[in-house]
Amino acid sequence: MEENFTNELIREYIPKKSKFNKVSRLEITNIQNRLNNRPLIILEYITLNQMFFNNTESKLSSQSLD
């Protein structure tokens, strides 16, 4: 995913000129979970987590067949 796109998504939760050291770990974790579980048009409405875990599962199952 493109860095600018990712930054725009993060900026929906943390406004520009905000100090990142003022954002708690819990807030960062919550933002991370929201972004990773957000359906994206470019991925045909699947989430980043779904894409990652589907690819990981398929690779693991293909390795176990070898």
pLDDT given at position 23: 92
pLDDT given at position 8: 86
Q: Find the domain containing 50 and state its range.
A: 3-65
Answer for the pair 43, 51: CB distance below 8 angstroms, yes or no.
Answer: yes
User: Cα–Cα distance between 9 and 34 in angstroms, integer?
Assistant: 10
Answer for the pair 10, 20: CB distance below 8 angstroms, yes or no.
Answer: no
Answer for the pair 36, 49: CB distance below 8 angstroms, yes or no.
Answer: yes
**What pLDDT, in 10s, does the model give residues 21-37?**
999 999 999 999 999 99
* Total structural domains within the chain: 1
pTM comes to 0.68
pLDDT band at 9 (very low <50, low <70, confident <90, very high): confident
